[in-house]
Amino acid sequence: MRVDIITVVPELLKGPFDHSILKRAQEKGLFEIYVHDLKKFGIGKFNQIDDYQYGGGAGMVLRVEPLFQAITTLQQHRDYDDIIFMTPDAPVLTQSEANKISLYENVMIVCGHYKGIDQRIRDHLITKELSIGDYVLSGGELAAAVLVDAIGRLIPGVLNDGSSALTDSFQDGVLSGPVYTRPAIFNDWAVPDVLVSGHEKKISDWRHEQSLIRTQNIRPDLLENE
């Protein structure tokens, strides 16, 4: 998969993909991430990218021309499965949406900043809009990083343990249960007996039960939708 990200703050996207799982995914050639600076498409001597909003009101808006140039320039080289705009006024990203996007070949992500982007870009070029939750960030970059991480780890071959992405919280609609590793006793804090019993059926029943208990306590809304 190839991801192209358009942003006014490319520096914010320099670090997050160069470590751990996403780094390995790129090294394996399974995932390519390119960050494009919108200022390169700015207008005039000062590379202007934003302006006051029509009708008045606080906050700058990203102008239509630089975004149009950036998006259509990328489109000249490849077809995008989706051109995604990250914005808080959009449907919230879910695991099932991430699963779907992880199967794409080419994805473009546009990060908003300031007050937002000119609506005409959303009306004519954007094909999907996503938020990452009900709170406001100063720009779409960190949200884009969240989306890229969520989809990158799902690409077949990225995780060494192919099964582990499928046993994540949310992948089956409930939260994951507790996990433990050695030692079995630390500070007289003991690992639950069942996990060291070696009894596979009992272990998987216990894990399932713990998942449901945790979901009921922390996110009962996930069980209500069933």
- Whose Cβ is closer to ligand 6GU: residue 113's or residue 211's? 113
Question: Considering the complex, what minimum distance in angstroms separates the CB of residue 158 from ligand 6GU?
Answer: 23
Beta-ladder partners of 6: 36, 110
User: Binders of ligand 6GU: how many residues, by CB under 6 A?
Assistant: 13
Nearer to ligand 6GU, 87 or 215 (CB): 87
- Site of tokens 């700015």: 42
- Check residue 16 for interaction with ligand 6GU (CB under 6 A): no
Shortest distance (Å) from residue 144 CB to ligand 6GU: 7
Where in 52-111 is the site for ligand 6GU (CB under 6 A)? Answer: 86-88
The torsion angles phi and psi of 186, rounded to 5 degrees, stand at -140, 125
Q: Which of residues 112-171 bind ligand 6GU (CB under 6 A)?
A: 112, 131-133, 135-137, 139-140, 143
Residue 66, phi-psi category: left (phi > 0), alpha (psi -120 to 50), beta (remainder): alpha
Select 66 or 140, whichever has its Cβ closest to ligand 6GU: 140
120 vs 67: CA distance, rounded Å? 10
Q: How far is the CB of 124 from ligand 6GU (least distance, A)?
A: 20
Closest CA to 67 of 128, 125, 12, 2: 125
> What's the Rg (C-alpha) of the chain?
22
Name the closest residue to ligand 6GU (Cβ).
Answer: 143
In angstroms, what is the minimal distance from the CB of 142 to ligand 6GU?
8
The answer to whether residues 144 and 86 touch, using CB atoms and an 8 Å cutoff, is: yes
Tell me the closest approach of the beta carbon of residue 131 to ligand 6GU, in angstroms. 4
Q: What is the DSSP string of 90-148?
A: SPBP-HHHHHHHTT-SEEEEEE-BTTEE-HHHHHHT--EEEBSSSS--SBSHHHHHHHH
Interface residue list for ligand 6GU (CB under 6 A)? 86-88, 112, 131-133, 135-137, 139-140, 143
